């Protein structure tokens, strides 16, 4: 039976909700990308360093993602950064001024395949994550993903009114190239939205 309860999007530190999100993302990623190892998507160190946002419906977790942050005061390698690639030294990103401001990465976004509203969930998560990023002072947030999720990210960014830039494809340890993307102009859009709501 289809659940028609509205979706709710929020940051959580509740261990049970996070565990349900982790199990959901593991299941979703292994179904979508069967070549991944069976332990892909399990809880990792990045989860402990990230802000977790979930989509909930009727008491169940139907989606989620994490936002990892690097600041000038507390520089941190983001999940997409590897020993031979870091965002600050990427020539294509020099105009973003990453050496002097905070930025983040959205990763491990997943929506329940049982929900008929997968794109609604990703859009709601995008809004919640962009709002959280703005609240934390981030104007630029990156993601790295295959072609289909990159197209969905572009659509979600357009709906939010924030910028979206796709950079080069990066090889990954998973054997599939993924596009480096950036959501930009978050502070201006969400500061304006906050003023209009007041």
Give the CATH number of the domain where residue 96 resides.
3.40.630.30
Does the predicted model carry a pTM greater than 0.85?
A: yes
Does 1 fall in a domain? no
Q: Is the dihedral of CA 118, 7, 125, 158 positive or negative?
A: positive
Ramachandran sector of residue 161 (left: φ over 0; alpha: ψ -120 to 50; beta: rest): left
Q: Which domain holds residue 82?
A: 8-197
2 within domain boundaries: no
| Residue 94 neighbours by CB under 8 Å, 6+ apart | none
Question: Is position 175 within any domain?
Answer: yes
- Measure the CA–CA gap between 106 and 129, rounded to whole angstroms: 8
Angle CA 41–42–48, to nearest 5: 105
Q: How many CB atoms lie within 10 A of CB 63?
A: 28
CA nearest neighbour of 52 among 73, 29, 25: 25
In the chain, the number of structural domains is: 1
Local confidence pLDDT in tens for the 198 residues of the chain = 356 678 999 999 999 999 999 999 999 999 988 888 888 889 999 999 999 999 999 889 999 999 999 999 888 899 988 777 889 988 889 999 998 999 999 999 999 988 767 689 999 999 999 999 999 999 999 999 888 889 999 999 999 999 999 987 776 766 677 899 999 999 999 976 544 443
């Amino acid at each position: 039976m289809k659940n028609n309860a509205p979706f709710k999007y929020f940051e959580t530190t509740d261990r049970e909700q996070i565990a349900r999100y982790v199990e959901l993302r593991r299941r979703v990623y292994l179904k979508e990308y069967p070549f991944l190892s069976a332990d892909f998507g399990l809880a990792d160190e990045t989860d402990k360093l990230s802000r977790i946002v979930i989509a909930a419906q009727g008491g169940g977790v139907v989606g989620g993602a994490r936002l990892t942050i690097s600041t000038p005061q507390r520089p941190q390698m983001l999940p997409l950064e590897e020993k031979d690639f870091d965002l600050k030294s990427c020539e294509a990103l020099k105009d973003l001024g990453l050496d002097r401001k905070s930025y983040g990465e959205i990763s491990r976004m997943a929506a329940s395949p049982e929900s008929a509203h997968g794109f609604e969930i990703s859009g709601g998560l995008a809004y919640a994550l962009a709002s959280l990023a703005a609240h934390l002072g981030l104007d630029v947030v990156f993601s790295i993903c295959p072609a289909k999720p990159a197209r969905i990210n572009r659509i979600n960014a357009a709906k939010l009114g924030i910028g979206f830039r796709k950079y080069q494809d990066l090889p990954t340890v998973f054997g599939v190239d993924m596009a480096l993307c950036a959501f930009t102009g978050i502070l201006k859009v969400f500061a304006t939205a906050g003023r209009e709501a007041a």
